[in-house]
Amino acid sequence: MADSTLYYGGTILTLEDTLYAQALLEEDGRIRYVGTMEQAQQLSNTQTRKVDLQGKTLMPAFLDPHSHFMAYANAMLQVPLGECTTQEELCQKLADFVQEQHIPKGQWIKGTGYDHNCLQEGTPPKREMLDTYCPEHPVIIQHASGHVGVYNTKALEQLGITEATPCPDGGVMEVDAQGKLTGYMEENAFLAFQKKVPMDDPQKLLDAMLKAQERYASYGITTVQEGMFMDAMVPLYQQAMEKNLLKLDVVAYQDPRDCQQIQKVFQEHEGIYHNHLKLGGNKIFLDGSPQGRTAWLRTPYEGEEKEDCGYPVLTDKQVYDYIAQALEQGVQLLAHCNGDRAAEQYLTVMAQVERDKGKKLERPVMVHAQLLGEDQMEAVKSLTMIPSFFIAHVYHWGDVHLKNLGRERASHISPAASALKHGILFTFHQDTPVIAPNMLETVWCAVNRITKEGKLLGAEERIPVLEALKAVTIHAAYQYFEEEEKGSLKRGKQANFVILSHDPLRVPPSMLRDIQVLETIQRGQTIYRQE
């Protein structure tokens, strides 16, 4: 007899045309029935487990449309710097970590999550200051955006970086007035050398992968993304699958510059889950971050004497080749675009490729799309492109955007209402580990658009709660080509649920982020329960 569970006695939010149901019957990890209590009971049997929701809300589990799963695990092994308010506090935290953890001389120290906008000095410490606090260790600290950071002197030495080292295209290696490296780097420069930093102990990383999945599940998420899959990560994923450590579904997007091993080892995973891993397609970067002032803009940032519009990561020719490659391979393409000039490059070049090749990419994604312009919406729609907005920027960096962009532009970051008006399907993400994968906070951000300092940022871009929920459920499933399997409560779909303390559609909008995730269920099995 099949294993089955009957849910009743609370709010069952389906996110289908019939928005609410009285009961839901799950059987062998699938939804067998959603509808009236009477019919659900008739379909049940004597062995059916009955779960009284006691007034709580059952709805589809969330899907993470963009994050970096391995980086989230890795961040759990690094020094958290997000709460630091001065350069001295940041450096002292690194030194304390060395002392408390008894880190041997010469072993790498990695700090993550600092934000220069939150430091009194307005800039991160340079390499000499890091040297003073950690004189016997190579040190790397990474900005919360993941796009910039600082290396100390021992780190530069171990990586073989000197003033004579060529700066990678699409990056910056800062030098002082004497032409000496400060250790601060941006974009392709920082990221290229970061790849050469030794990885942590594999067993520690495997343990951290389990903890990362537990953390995602605690936010009601059952599908996550590996947003930049590279060859160096292959051995860890192999070990994780051999040991059955992947519990959540992971959709991985490979770096087309660095994926020869991926294509050999994980060929059978292309578009299909095996041991919870699926290759979703390719991912490219077109610019940086607006809070780091490296996003590529059509008009300059505010507050600088020189006209600063950020800069591109790739040339038009490179973008053309990557889009053409994805089209020829028949895979989905994700492109990181924060600035409106980067968005313009992606849209213009993709339209040209499709004209030249006589066929269209399927569901291409513009990741972040922070400054996507109203005048660019029709191009997005014609390309059937999916903007995945990092809408929690409104809260976490909205006040910084006001300073960097001015009120008019800052008010239109993550323009979800504009996309809705144009009939464009969109999703929301947190770019974890940039911030925690808190879906309910993200829904709150989209509906309220309040900054950390309590300012209303872009009232006209606020959207209804139901549309915000769709962006992290059924629309996210569509982005992954999984709308027939996930994202709503419908007969035949996977039994992936989240049980919430309150119905998001029936609480005041200001209370959305206070709703608690009580339980997360994947294919009928509980994978998280609030203690």
pLDDT in tens, 515-527: 999 999 999 999 9
Question: Does residue 220 lie within any of the structural domains?
Answer: no
How do residues 236-255 score in pLDDT, each as one tens digit? 999 999 999 999 999 999 99
Question: Does residue 8 lie within any of the structural domains?
Answer: no
**Contact indicator for 13, 57 with CB cutoff of 8 Å:** yes
pLDDT of residue 479: 98
Mean pLDDT score, 473-477:
98
pLDDT of residue 223: 98
- From 151, 166, 194, the end of a domain falls on 194
Q: How confident is the model at residue 501 (pLDDT cuts 50, 70, 90)?
A: very high
CB half-sphere exposure, 333, CA atoms < 13 A? 28
Helices 202-218 and 234-242 cross at an angle (nearest 10°) of 70
pLDDT of residue 183: 96
- From 435, 463, 491, the end of a domain falls on 463
pLDDT of residue 467: 98
Question: Does residue 435 lie within any of the structural domains?
Answer: yes
Report whether pLDDT(222) > 70. Answer: yes
**Contact indicator for 8, 53 with CB cutoff of 8 Å:** yes
Cis peptide bond prior to 437, omega within 30° of 0:
no
Q: Do residues 185 and 294 share a domain?
A: no
Q: Do residues 181 and 306 share a domain?
A: no
Higher pLDDT, 281 or 197: 281
Distance CA 86, CA 124 (A): 9
Q: How confident is the model at residue 195 (pLDDT cuts 50, 70, 90)?
A: confident
Coil, strand or helix at 237: helix
| Two structure tokens written together for 494 | 């996977």
Q: Do residues 308 and 451 share a domain?
A: yes
Distance CA 470, CA 79 (A): 35
- Amino acid at the residue 62: F
Q: Do residues 431 and 308 share a domain?
A: yes
Return the DSSP state at 509: G
- Could you tell me which residues come within 8 angstroms of residue 473 by beta carbon, excluding any fewer than 6 positions away? 15, 59, 60, 61, 62, 63, 487, 488
Average pLDDT along the chain: 95
pLDDT of residue 386: 98
Distance CA 296, CA 93 (A): 33
CB atoms within 10 A of CB 355: 8
Distance CA 42, CA 22 (A): 14
**Strand ranges for 328-461 from DSSP E:** 332-337, 365-368, 386-389, 427-428
Mean pLDDT score, 212-241:
96
Coil, strand or helix at 226: strand
How do residues 432-463 score in pLDDT, each as one tens digit? 999 999 999 999 999 999 999 999 999 999 99
| Two structure tokens written together for 527 | 């994978």
pLDDT of residue 172: 93
Nearest to 209 by CA among 232, 243, 255: 243
How do residues 136-149 score in pLDDT, each as one tens digit? 999 999 998 888 99
Report whether pLDDT(201) > 90. Answer: no
| Two structure tokens written together for 470 | 């769709």
Name the residue range of residue 155's domain.
Answer: 78-194
How do residues 86-106 score in pLDDT, each as one tens digit? 999 999 999 999 998 888 999
Q: How confident is the model at residue 179 (pLDDT cuts 50, 70, 90)?
A: very high
171 dihedral zone (left: phi>0; alpha: psi -120 to 50; beta)? beta
Return the DSSP state at 258: S
Q: Do residues 312 and 181 share a domain?
A: no
Q: Which strand (E) or helix (H) includes residue 204?
A: helix 202-218
**Contact indicator for 251, 224 with CB cutoff of 8 Å:** yes
Question: Does residue 482 lie within any of the structural domains?
Answer: no
CB half-sphere exposure, 419, CA atoms < 13 A? 30
pLDDT of residue 146: 83
Q: How confident is the model at residue 1 (pLDDT cuts 50, 70, 90)?
A: low
Q: Do residues 311 and 447 share a domain?
A: yes
Mean pLDDT score, 117-142:
94
Distance CA 457, CA 448 (A): 9
Q: How confident is the model at residue 303 (pLDDT cuts 50, 70, 90)?
A: confident
pLDDT of residue 306: 72
Question: Does residue 37 lie within any of the structural domains?
Answer: no
Question: Does residue 215 lie within any of the structural domains?
Answer: no
Distance CA 439, CA 442 (A): 5
Nearest to 435 by CA among 146, 206, 218, 94: 146
- Could you tell me which residues come within 8 angstroms of residue 344 by beta carbon, excluding any fewer than 6 positions away? 298, 376
Question: Does residue 495 lie within any of the structural domains?
Answer: no
In angstroms and rounded to an integer, the radius of gyration of the C-alpha atoms of the chain is: 23
Distance CA 192, CA 328 (A): 27
List Cα–Cα distances, 168 to 139, 171, 232, 494, in angstroms: 21, 6, 20, 45
Distance CA 435, CA 442 (A): 11
- From 431, 463, 495, the end of a domain falls on 463
**Number of structural domains found in the chain:** 2
Question: Does residue 373 lie within any of the structural domains?
Answer: yes
Q: Do residues 311 and 459 share a domain?
A: yes
Strand order in the sheet with 4-8: 30-35, 23-27, 4-8, 49-52
Q: Do residues 306 and 433 share a domain?
A: yes
How do residues 362-400 score in pLDDT, each as one tens digit? 999 999 999 999 999 999 999 999 999 999 999 999 999
**Contact indicator for 81, 113 with CB cutoff of 8 Å:** yes
CATH number of the domain where residue 344 is located: 3.20.20.140
Report whether pLDDT(305) > 70. Answer: no
CATH number of the domain where residue 158 is located: 3.10.310.70
**Contact indicator for 312, 348 with CB cutoff of 8 Å:** no
Strand pairing report for 517-522 and 525-529 = antiparallel
- Amino acid at the residue 303: G
Q: Do residues 294 and 442 share a domain?
A: yes
| Two structure tokens written together for 289 | 């971050």
